[in-house]
Amino acid sequence: MVDSETVVTFRASGELVEHAKLFAKSGDQRMSEYIRDAVREKNERNLAQRMRFLSGRLAAESVRVNDELDIAVGDGIAQS
C-alpha cells in the first residue's frame, strides 16, 4: 500500500457530480471519501468477476483433463 496520496482530476457530467454529492451527503461522507469508496467497490467487483471467469475456465480444463485420464485408464495401456 502506498503511504502518500495523489490527487486525481477527471471530467464528469454535472449529473454525475450532483448524484455523487447527494450520495456522499446521505452517507455522511465527504465527496472524496465517497468517490474513493465507489472506485474501491468497483475494483473489487471487477476482480471478483475476473476470478469467477478464471475459475470457470479452470473447472472446464479440469473436467477435460479428468476425461482424458479416464479414457487413458480404460485403453489397456495405463494401469490402475
Give the start-to-end residue ranges of the domains of the chain.
Answer: 14-73
pLDDT digits (tens, 9 = 90+) for 37-50: 999 999 999 999 99
Of the chain, the percentage scoring pLDDT greater than 70 comes to 88
pTM for this entry: 0.67
How many Å apart are CA 25 and CA 29, to the nearest integer?
6
What is the average pLDDT across 59-73? 88
* End-to-end CA gap in the chain: 50
What is the average pLDDT across 49-76? 89
Residue 68 predicted with pLDDT over 80:
yes
Give me the chain's average pLDDT, please.
90
Crossing angle (nearest 10°) for helices 31-73 and 14-26: 90
